[in-house]
Amino acid sequence: FIQTDAAINPGNSGGALVNARGELIGINTAIYPRTPTPDGRGTYTQGAEGIGFAIPVRTAKAVLDQIIKHWHVIRGWIGADYADIPLANGATSRQQGVMVMRVVPESPAAQAHLQPGDILLKLNNTAIIDQIDLRNREAALTPGVKAHLEGLRDNQPFELDLTVAQRPAPSTTGA
């Protein structure tokens, strides 16, 4: 998402987010309003002040292209839930990578023997910054292609390859 302080009122989802040159940069999606304040009549109001979020136009265009071509959106899926690596005691900055929290049975991750507790550091030879980075890169993978993961298991380096699948409907993953 793009975070913006542009005024986005309730009901404006789907509206254009444009830059100072009038170029489309995103599609307004949601607002996180400031705390409601009394309006003098004993009721609370929420205006457009606060933080707005927009889907980047690049993402919206990719989704549109997939819908036109396939009649639905296709996302890559490795079959694991992951989270950012917790801060070590006394640490002030977070380590790059993610920790595997759950492996979906019979998923590509399960077939490749990925395990809960594994630390994933690279996808296809590129460092994994955090869970958002991996989630976006995983979704962009084409189902059927091979993906290469590098990480740590019990502080020992490991590498594995898996075949990316199409992300199933949420109810079929047990999530």
18: confidence class by pLDDT, cuts 50, 70, 90: confident
pTM: 0.67
Contact present, 130 and 146 (Cβ < 8 Å): no
Distance CA 171, CA 30 (A): 25
Predicted local confidence at residue 27, as pLDDT: 83
CA 18 to chain CA centroid, nearest Å: 23
**Lowest-pLDDT choice from 36-40, 73-77, 84-88, 116-120:** 36-40
Question: Phi/psi at 67 (nearest 5 deg)?
Answer: -65, -40
- Partnered with residue 83 across adjacent β-strands are 99
Would you tell me how many other CB atoms lie within 10 Å of the CB of residue 107?
19
Residue whose tokens read 């509206």: 15
131-168 per-position pLDDT tens digit: 989 998 998 899 999 999 999 999 999 999 999 998 88
* 75 three-state secondary structure: coil
72-114 per-position pLDDT tens digit: 777 889 999 999 988 777 767 778 899 999 999 999 999 999 9
